[in-house]
């Protein structure tokens, strides 16, 4: 596979590239020199990724005659916090990183969001190059410029838009991912297909076993197709004031579950649960075509995402956590629904998310949180 390059437009009229190529990890320094030239680079990564790839990346800079220092933090979603943001920033100050420096965000979504937020705020903003090492980060968090940290009240409540100077995606690193991590990443692919692309949905259904197994050719094609969609949506709505809302399908309930579980659920697992619930809820509210929830559930099961984590929490807990989501307005919950598989729904005003009142968050939500076998969903009528 040769290098594939996509581009994302930024609000200021700039552009940044997304490079996709096996083996690209060993070429990080050359890409950084071109797209984020700096006197010195802070490679921010978690402790697990540091052991796997830290020396490779630092050696790439040394071989190119560039200065780079590994700045690790403890692995785990619960470390995407204000405390770690402060600790990393303080370490960079003590190490003498100045305004002529740049950040390399190496790792999964936690590292990408946290390192991106450090870059957005350190010295009032440094360039950042995103180098995702998990499938979920490759498909989602590395593209679009969202950075931030979690709090006890909710996920990503503190953050900033800070677009990267470049994104480097090396599909070869997926070979080191555990199966459950690959499956968690596939949640983002299912979501993208569900809201935007029926053909991609059918392709994922037909190749689910290959994708779960990490087959290189299928994985590389999936990454390019999903990232192309994400790049197009971000370019149209870089600050999430319109169509970009559709990327939040599954996230209102998913973020609530993550917060309630103390961020012990993988993000992709939580979003998979959120998609099941939001598809059922959309059907019960007459927004989503009947049978869609069963198709979503079946596709997630084929991708190894059949945990039903949503059934272990009381509806009142989910409802309260949803009201604290950053997408809420005046404590009223907003949620993205499907019209059908391959198409997101719009409300009567043309918005891509729906305000849920107390009635919708009562019995309809409680019913949607029950397993499909208990929820009384209509049989799948077949669909397109």
Whether residue 175 lies in the annotated active site:
no
Of the candidates 205, 215, 224, 240, the residue annotated as catalytic is 240
In degrees, to the nearest 5, what angle opens at C-alpha 185 toward C-alphas 179 and 189?
130
Q: Residue written as tokens 């609530």?
A: 256
CB neighbours of 94 closer than 8 A, spacing ≥ 6?
none
Check: CB of residue 20 under 8 Å from CB of residue 220.
Answer: yes
Whether residue 295 lies in the annotated active site:
no
How many residues in total does the chain contain?
A: 384
Of the candidates 163, 244, 294, 319, the residue annotated as catalytic is 244
Whether residue 264 lies in the annotated active site:
no
Of the candidates 21, 188, 245, 310, the residue annotated as catalytic is 188
Whether residue 124 lies in the annotated active site:
yes
CB neighbours of 238 closer than 8 A, spacing ≥ 6?
9, 10, 11, 144, 145, 161, 163, 244
Of the candidates 35, 80, 146, 155, the residue annotated as catalytic is 146
Of the candidates 80, 225, 229, 251, the residue annotated as catalytic is 251
Of the candidates 163, 191, 225, 230, the residue annotated as catalytic is 230
Distance of alpha carbon 49 from alpha carbon 55, whole angstroms:
10
Rg, C-alpha atoms of the chain: 20
Of the candidates 79, 162, 248, 319, the residue annotated as catalytic is 248
Whether residue 248 lies in the annotated active site:
yes
Report the sign of the C-alpha dihedral through residues 24, 29, 34, 38, in that order. Answer: positive
79, 83, 116, 131, 221 from 149: Cα distances, Å: 9, 9, 10, 18, 31
Question: How many Cβ atoms are within 10 Å of 80's Cβ, its own excluded?
Answer: 24
- Which letter does DSSP use for residue 133 in this model? -
Of the candidates 267, 276, 280, 294, the residue annotated as catalytic is 267
Of the candidates 182, 255, 324, 340, the residue annotated as catalytic is 255
Whether residue 202 lies in the annotated active site:
no
Phi, psi of 282 (to 5 degrees): -60, -40
Whether residue 99 lies in the annotated active site:
no
For residue 211, give the nearest of 172, 250, 193, 185 by alpha carbon: 185
Whether residue 156 lies in the annotated active site:
no
Check: CB of residue 190 under 8 Å from CB of residue 268.
Answer: no
Catalytic residue IDs: 124, 146, 188, 230, 240, 244, 248, 251, 255, 267
């Amino acid at each position: 596979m040769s290098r594939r390059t996509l581009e994302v437009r930024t609000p200021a009229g700039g552009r940044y590239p997304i490079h996709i190529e096996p083996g690209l990890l060993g070429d990080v320094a050359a890409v950084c020199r071109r797209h984020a030239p700096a006197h010195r680079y802070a490679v921010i990564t978690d402790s697990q990724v540091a052991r796997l790839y830290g020396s490779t990346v630092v050696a790439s800079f040394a071989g190119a005659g560039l200065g780079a220092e590994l700045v690790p933090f403890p692995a785990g979603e619960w470390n995407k916090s204000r405390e770690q943001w402060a600790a990393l920033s303080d370490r960079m100050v003590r190490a003498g990183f100045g305004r002529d420096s740049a950040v390399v965000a190496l790792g999964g979504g936690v590292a990408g969001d946290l390192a991106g937020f450090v870059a957005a705020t350190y010295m009032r903003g440094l360039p950042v190059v995103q180098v995702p090492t998990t499938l979920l980060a490759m498909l989602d968090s590395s593209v679009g410029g969202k950075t931030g940290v979690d709090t006890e009240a909710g996920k990503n409540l503190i953050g900033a838009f800070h677009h990267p100077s470049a994104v480097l995606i090396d599909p070869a690193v997926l070979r080191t991912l555990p199966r459950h991590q690959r499956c968690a990443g596939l949640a983002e692919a299912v979501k993208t297909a569900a809201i935007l692309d029926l053909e991609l949905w059918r392709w994922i259904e037909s190749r689910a076993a290959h994708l779960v197994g990490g087959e290189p050719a299928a994985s590389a094609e999936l990454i390019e197709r999903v990232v192309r969609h994400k790049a197009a949506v971000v370019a149209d709505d870089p600050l999430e004031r319109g169509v970009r809302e559709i990327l939040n399908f599954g996230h209102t309930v998913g973020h609530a579950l993550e917060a309630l579980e103390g961020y012990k659920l993988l993000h992709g697992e939580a979003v998979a649960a959120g998609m099941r619930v939001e598809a059922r809820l959309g059907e019960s509210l007459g927004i989503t075509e009947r049978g869609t929830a069963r198709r979503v559930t079946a596709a997630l099961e084929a991708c190894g995402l059949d945990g039903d984590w949503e059934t272990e929490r009381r509806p009142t807990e989910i409802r309260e956590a949803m009201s604290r989501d950053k997408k809420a307005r005046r404590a009223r919950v907003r949620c993205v629904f499907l019209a059908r598989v391959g198409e997101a729904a719009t409300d009567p005003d043309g918005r891509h998310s729906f305000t849920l009142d107390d009635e919708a968050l009562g019995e309809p939500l409680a019913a949607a949180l029950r397993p499909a076998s208990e929820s009384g969903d209509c049989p799948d009528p077949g669909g397109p």
